[in-house]
Structure 1
Amino acid sequence: MTFSIAAHQDGRFGIAAASSSPAVAARVVHLRDSVGAVASQNVTDPRLGPVLLDGLASGSSPEAAIAAVLANEPNAAYRQLTVVDASGAAATFSGHLTLGVHGEATGPHCAAAGNMLSRPDIPEILCGAFTSAGGQLEERLFTALSAGLAAGGEAGPVYSAGLSTVSGIGWRDTDLRVDWQESPIGELGRLLEVWLPQRDDYVQRGLEPAASPGYGVPGDDR
């Protein structure tokens, strides 16, 4: 029910995901400053994301972090995982009970996976699009997600999408979600166009409120 890509760029981490089920990003996306990006999907157990990030934080490689989690996961056959660490190394796992047509792929600084897909190479398309795209991390993630959709995406329609990033400041500097909509990836792109020019202003408002720019809305008298 999901296709997603996790990636690293210039010390930042991000994930973009889409699904036929509602609120996909609420369950799938796991990010940690200076540590990595993890997607936990298929028959999703969100608890696996923080455990995988803990493994990366302790010095494990993505492959070793996945192996350690699976060794203690009684329902491993149902899980699909992607992991990218601070060096850009990546690893994936799909249990043998992953739903429908499924696949996974890794590329430079990225990993992708999907289930109930229209074709098994959708994750390869995601990674290829990310690798060849230019721009900021958010833009490259959105390009990858759009390429996956254009190539067929899920076997059925998608209704939710999300894109989140962390940049070492202590919170997600981009965290956009479309939780139920007929064209969620297109709507996500529209939100991204609105958000990106303002992102750094909102970061400054958090870190240096006295020096931050005004909001430019009624009631803001700065």
Structure 2
Amino acid sequence: MTFSLLGHCPRTGQFGAACTTSSIGIGARVPFLAAGIGGVLTQHRTDPRLGPRGLDLLRSGCTAQEAMAALVASTPDHGWRQMAAIDSAGRTAHFHGARMKPAHAEAHGAGCVAIGNIMANADVPRAMVEAFLAEPEAPLASRLLAALQAGEDAGGEGRPLVSAALLVVEKESFPFVDLRVDRDATPIATLAGMWRDYAPLAEEYVLRAVAPDSAVGG
């Protein structure tokens, strides 16, 4: 009952994730990213412990595939898990546990991977990847949101969504973008609206943290 995508922008060095589901609080449980390192998605009877563990593996020098293999080996409950990873070179990996409920699927593209479970159909991740790759010069956050909408347009869960999240990291230890929507009738559209409001301020918020003398706002 979740579909999501990890993506990398070689132009900016950003890593990002976008995800949505029919349950509450997806932004706190599914996407995990680290600047310059990569990211992990953990979903389907979600174990949020696997996100930081996966980032530590990537940080240690593991490729996405090596990190995924180690994550699977580290948990006896892997049959219930669905995961994806992207490493610093943009390589991707995924895992589907044997006890996952259908429809579940994955799709990989250049610098991105999409996964989903308990979806209306198995075409959703491929639609997400195609949308993400369609405008490579657009801001990473915009491409992630386009992928999320494409997944919903392709069938999504086949039931009403209530939460969505957008997470992007760039250079700092804190996120460049971290926007979440919960208990909303149209979470993807609401999230896209939040990004439109946030986009002109994103660089300023970073400046306020790292070079406050140069910042413009209060």
TM-score range normalised by the length of the shorter chain: over 0.9
CA contact (8 A) 1:92 1:105 kept: no
Tell me which residue corresponds to 2:130: 128
CA contact (8 A) 1:42 1:78 kept: yes
1:45 aligned residue (32, 44, 47) = 47
2:32 aligned residue (16, 20, 30) = 30
Tell me which residue corresponds to 1:219: none
Which secondary structure state, in structure 1, belongs to the residue aligned with residue 61 of structure 2?
Answer: coil
1:156 aligned residue (139, 153, 159) = 159
- After the TM superposition, which residues 54-69 of structure 1 pair with which residues of structure 2 at under 5 Å, given as runs? 54-69=56-71
Runs of 5+ consecutive residues of structure 1 not aligned to the other structure: 216-222
Tell me which residue corresponds to 2:188: 185
CA contact (8 A) 1:133 1:143 kept: no
Cα distance in 1 for partners of 2:57, 2:210 equals 29
Runs of 5+ consecutive residues of structure 2 not aligned to the other structure: none
CA contact (8 A) 2:123 2:154 kept: no
Q: Quick check: which has more Rg, 1 or 2?
A: 1
Cα distance in 1 for partners of 2:169, 2:179 equals 12
Structure 1 residue 55: Cα displacement: 1.1
Cα distance in 2 for partners of 1:39, 1:147 equals 19
Which secondary structure state, in structure 2, belongs to the residue aligned with residue 146 of structure 1?
Answer: helix
Tell me which residue corresponds to 1:4: 4
1:96-143 CA distances to partner (integer Å, 9 max, x unpaired)?
A: 111231111111000110011011121111111101124010010001
Cα distance in 1 for partners of 2:61, 2:217 equals 42
Q: How many residues end up aligned between the 2 structures? A: 215
Structure 1 residue 156: Cα displacement: 1.1
Tell me which residue corresponds to 1:166: 169
1:163 counterpart letter in structure 2: L
TM-score normalised by L of structure 1: 0.94
TM-score normalised by L of structure 2: 0.96
CA contact (8 A) 1:8 1:85 kept: no
1:26-78 CA distances to partner (integer Å, 9 max, x unpaired)?
A: 10010011100111001100000111111111111111111111112110000
* Structure 1 runs of 4+ with >2 Å offset: none
Which secondary structure state, in structure 2, belongs to the residue aligned with residue 144 of structure 1?
Answer: helix
Structure 1 residue 23: Cα displacement: 1.1
Tell me which residue corresponds to 2:114: 112
Cα distance in 1 for partners of 2:92, 2:210 equals 31
User: What's the C-alpha RMSD, in Å, of the aligned pairs?
Assistant: 0.9
1:105 counterpart letter in structure 2: A
CA contact (8 A) 2:7 2:16 kept: yes
Cα distance in 1 for partners of 2:30, 2:115 equals 11
Which secondary structure state, in structure 2, belongs to the residue aligned with residue 172 of structure 1?
Answer: coil
Cα distance in 2 for partners of 1:214, 1:52 equals 36
2:205 aligned residue (188, 202, 211) = 202
Structure 1 residue 178: Cα displacement: 0.3
CA contact (8 A) 1:162 1:176 kept: yes
Cα distance in 1 for partners of 2:71, 2:167 equals 24
Cα distance in 2 for partners of 1:78, 1:155 equals 21
